[in-house]
Structure 1
């Protein structure tokens, strides 16, 4: 699986390359700025990209803007964004893209190698991988629609947003598959979202909810891992 990496920190990019190579990925190129990243994507046509939110010269949102441009130029290009902190505005921009192949992780998640590479493979496969801390903060403020959700339903909602399937949610929450199915049905019902969608139904439901309500929901219970 070929990867293009956009990261200006030489130590971090070198470490990521070693880690990815050891896990069976091929790092086709490392770009230190947005222009170099876009050129590398055009040249190497990677299976997945990893992009830092903040790149030179201003270290603001160059990475996010470059990722968005790359997906416009190459529709469906998988992008896993890394950030030092939870930046809700930038995470929200990613959540607005319902095509899949999107991830947002905090950089300290990289040290959890199995978790990081699992997220990268999920994004490369067209799925979604959202850091639990990102989800918790996006669902951090009061809002009417989620008031009806129970604490368990909020946990399920957060894990759905991370891209986990029913079996994965059941394992993390130590409940049965039937219980997960029931909770998901309740979430769809209470949020007024259609449960008849196919493919990335869970992801689309969560993204539609966050787009509609702007992430203004009560505190989500932190998912178990």
Structure 2
């Protein structure tokens, strides 16, 4: 990503908010190659420009219900190489689960209040562009609620904490700082999660992403 602008297609029906986000992203090293006010315009923009990331408001015209997230799911199916970062006023767990289904990588889901925090928003964009996962803490919390016994039940409370922070996109160093433990301790917890989830190292698989997806899938209800 060095010396290359992050290419973004931005879908937001509010012209004022859209223009503000374009200016914000431009100032933070991103290139908004297309903007869209409807789901159809979003799909066309992604096909034409093949961006690194599509930033999508869940609620778009004409009904302002789920047009944006439906378009995001379609983009994921058609062009899985394009990262998807959706944002919303509220958590839509059913659609979040669908977007994350199938072992997808390069997915983000933030609440609008998180998008307003510029550094967090841009950091999430880069994580998604690089094939990672960036989930709002509230999304993680709601999707974790389940009830049936799963592999997640084998985790210790500390391992769960570490995995939840992984789901939010934190690195081992960041997790260590947040939990006030050593980075080596975090590495041991992460290794324990991989072991309990039976995630073996390969040359191509991102075990962190797979661990997060397993966690959400088994706790999404």
TM-score (norm 1): 0.86
Q: Which residue of structure 1 lines up, in the alignment, with residue 168 of structure 2?
A: 162
Residue of structure 2 aligned with 1:175, choices 166, 171, 181: 181
Instruction: Structure 1: give runs of 5+ residues left out of the alignment.
Output: 217-225
Contact residue 193 and residue 205 of structure 1 kept, 8 A: no
Distance 1:5 1:188 in 2: 35
> 2:193 corresponds to which residue?
187
Deviating runs (4+, > 6 A) in structure 1? none
**Aligned residue pairs: how many?**
214
Out of 72, 75, 78, the residue aligned to residue 73 of structure 1 is 78
Could you tell me which runs of 5 or more consecutive residues in structure 2 were left unpaired when the two chains were aligned.
1-5
What is the DSSP-based 3-state SS (H/G/I as helix, E as strand, rest coil) of the residue aligned with 1:184?
helix
Indicate if the aligned counterparts of 2:133 and 2:209 stay in contact, CA closer than 8 A: yes
CA distance in 1, matches of 2:90, 2:186: 30
User: TM-score, structure 2 length as denominator?
Assistant: 0.88
Structure 1 168/97 Cα, relative in aligned 2: closer, same or farther at 3 Å?
A: farther
Q: 2:134 aligns with which of 129, 132, 144?
A: 129
- The 3-state SS of whatever aligns with 2:90 is coil
Shift of 1:200: 1.5
The separation in 2 between residues aligned to 1:154 and 1:214, in whole angstroms, is 12
In the alignment, is the contact (CA less than 8 A) between 1:109 and 1:116 conserved in 2? yes
Structure-to-structure mapping, 1:136-151, within 5 angstroms: 136-145=141-150, 146-151=152-157
State the distance in 2 between where 1:106 and 1:112 align: 11
In structure 2, what is the equivalent of residue 25 of structure 1? 30
Q: Distance in 2 between matches of 1:70 and 1:29?
A: 15
How is 1:196-207 mapped onto 2 (pairs within 5 angstroms)? 196-197=201-202, 199-207=205-213
The CA RMSD over aligned residues, in Å, is 1.9
CA distance in structure 2 between the partners assigned to 1:81 and 1:119 by the alignment: 11
Please state whether the residue corresponding to 1:42 is helix, strand or coil.
Answer: helix
